[in-house]
Amino acid sequence: MSDELIERVLKVIAASKRIPREQVTIDSEFPQLGIDSMDAVEILFALENEFDISIPDDDVRNVRNVRQMVEGVEKLVAAKSAGTAAG
């Protein structure tokens, strides 16, 4: 995981939830940050905009913490650049 990508995801989470950036770490669990299901849906929306990706419903069903979220975004960003390179 690149530090830059992690930082961008953490920033998006903090901005969307309107909490200080320092409060969000790669090891944060959603309940610790007070993130409920509607908050999570808003964060996904913000991540889609930030990275210009589309996040499928099935990929997010079991996401419970920041690390899983970062991993998911990384995978989609990689798939996107692979698609661009190939296409």
Partner 1 sequence: MRRVAITGVGAICALGRTVSEFRTSLCMGRPGIGRIESTDCSGLRFQQGAEVGGYSHEPYFDDRRADFIDRFAQFAVIAAREAVTGAGIEWTPELRETAAIITGSCVGGQSTEDIGFHEVYKLGHGRVHPLTIPKTMANAGASHISMEFGITGPSFTISTACSSAAHAIGQAFQMIRHGLTDLAITGGSEAPFSFGILKAWEAMRVVSNETCRPFSKDRRGMILGEGAAMLVLEPLEMAQARGAHIHAELVGFGMSSDACHITQPSAEGAARAMRAALRDAALKPEQIGYINAHGTATLVNDVTEIAAIRSVFGSHAERLAVSSTKSMHGHALGAAGALECLAAALALRDGVLPPTANFTEVDPECDLDVVPNRARHAQVEFALSNSFAFGGLNAVLALRRASSQ
Number of residues interacting with partner 1: please give it, by CB under 8 A: 12
Does 52 contact partner 1 by CB under 8 A? Answer: no
Q: Which stretch binds partner 1 (CB under 8 A): 12-20, 25-33, 38-46, 75-83?
A: 38-46
Percent of the chain that is helix, strand, coil (3-state, to 5):
70, 0, 25
Residue 23 Cβ, how far from partner 1 at the closest point, in Å?
A: 22
Piece of 9-17, 25-33, 51-59, 65-73 that binds partner 1 (CB under 8 A): 51-59
Length, in residues, of the chain: 87
Question: In sequence order, which residues have a C-beta less than 8 Å from that of residue 86 and are 6 or more positions away?
Answer: none
